[in-house]
Amino acid sequence: MIREAMLYEKADDDKVRCNLCAHGCTITPGRRGVCGVRENKNGILYTLVYGTLVAENIDPIEKKPFFHVYPGSKSYSIATAGCNFSCEFCQNHEISQMPRSTLMIVGEDAAPAEIAARAQKSGSKTIAYTYTEPTVYFELAYETARIAREQGLKNVFVTNGFMTSSAIETIKPYLAAANVDLKSFRDDFYRKRCGARLAPILASLQKMKEMGIWLEITTLLIPSLNDSNEELKDIAGFIAGLGKETPWHISRFHPQYKMLTKPVTPVSSLHRAREIGKLAGLKYVYSGNVPGDEGENTYCSYCGNCLIERHGFRIVKLNLSGNKCNRCGEEIEGLF
C-alpha cells in the first residue's frame, strides 16, 4: 500500500526534499531517502509502507517501556519495515534495516481504521507505534492515531526522536506519550554507531516536553561506549533540565547484530547509573532487562513507599489510590 507522503516539498528537476526527519533528504526521481521507505516517483514523494504491517502484537505497556502510562494495561503494538538509523546494536535489525539492505518491503496490509478496530477489540488502552521507527511510517501512524483518539484510545510512540519540529507539531494532537531513546550524549557516538546526530534528538525532547507530550527516556548502557560517569552525569543533567519527573530507563545491553564482541552490561553498571540519575534529582530512574531488580519498581518521591512492584513486564503489586501514594497521598506523574 503506497500513498503520497506528508511533510515534503518539491524542488527543481523533479527533486523533492523530505521534511519528516532530521536527515532532510533531497531525493532525486527513482531514488529513496535514508530510511529506504520513502521514494520519489516523478517528482512526487511516496511512502511505500502505508498500511503494510511487518509486526502486530498485544504487549504489556511496560515492554515499551512505559512505566507511567496506564501501568498493567495492554498496548496494541504495530510497526512497518524501515528506519532512519543504522544502529550497530539494533535488536530489530531484520525488519528495521530490510528496506535499505535488501530494498524489500514486506508485511500484511491493514488500513488505519482496521488497526484501530483491532486495538479496540483487544481491550488495549493504547496503540504503540514501536519495534522500528514510527517517524518513517508517519502517514500510517498519523491516520491511525487520529481514528484511535476519536474512539477513546491513546497513542504512544517508541522513537529515536530524530524528527523535525513539523512532524512533532503535526502528530501532537493525537500523541499522548513518547518513549525516546537517548542512546548517548556524544555526537560522535551517534555519527559512528547510528548514522545520525545528537542535536536534533535533544531538540525533539525539549519540543515534546514543551508541548505537553508525556515523556519517558531510555538509554541502552553499552560497556565502554556510553557508560562513563561523565556521560551518565550529562544525560541525567539534561533529563533533569527537562523535568525531574521524567522517567529514565537504563537498559542492559546484550550482544547483537553488528556489535557481538561487547560484553553484557554488568548489573553493577546499571546500579551506578541509577545512583547518578538520583543524585541529579530525577524522581524515577529504572533498571531495564534485569527481571527482579529493585530498579524495576516505582517509589514515591516523597515518602519512599514502593508504589508499583514489578518483575519484568509484570505488575506484582500496586500501592496506589488512583495516581496517589496510598501512604502519604503524593501524586505520581504520568497517565493513569
Residue 314: pLDDT over 90 = yes
Give percent of the chain above pLDDT 70. 100
pLDDT of residue 79: 98
Give the pLDDT band of residue 169 (cuts 50, 70, 90).
very high
Query: What's the CA gap between 89 and 71, in Å, rounded?
Result: 28
DSSP tag of 132: S
pLDDT of residue 1: 77
pLDDT per position as a tens digit, 17-28: 999 999 999 999
pLDDT of residue 162: 98
165 contact partners, CB below 8 Å, separation of at least 6: 203, 207
pLDDT average, residue stretch 232-255: 98
Residue 214: pLDDT over 80 = yes
Distance set, CA 300 to CA 67, 160, 199, 241, 307 (Å) = 13, 29, 33, 20, 6
| Beta pairing partners, 127 | 76, 155
Rounded to two decimals, the pTM is: 0.97
Contact 105, 81 (CB under 8 A): yes
Give the pLDDT band of residue 138 (cuts 50, 70, 90).
very high
> Please, what are the domains in the chain?
3-47 (no CATH), 52-300 (3.20.20.70)
Distance set, CA 61 to CA 200, 240, 300 (Å) = 27, 24, 20
Phi, psi of 36 (to 5 degrees): 80, 5
Torsion (CA) 82, 155, 172, 214 in degrees, nearest 10: -110
pLDDT per position as a tens digit, 73-129: 999 999 999 999 999 999 999 999 999 888 899 999 999 999 999 999 999 999 999
How large is the C-alpha radius of gyration of the chain? Answer: 20
Q: Within 13 Å and on the Cβ side, how many CA atoms surround 21?
A: 25
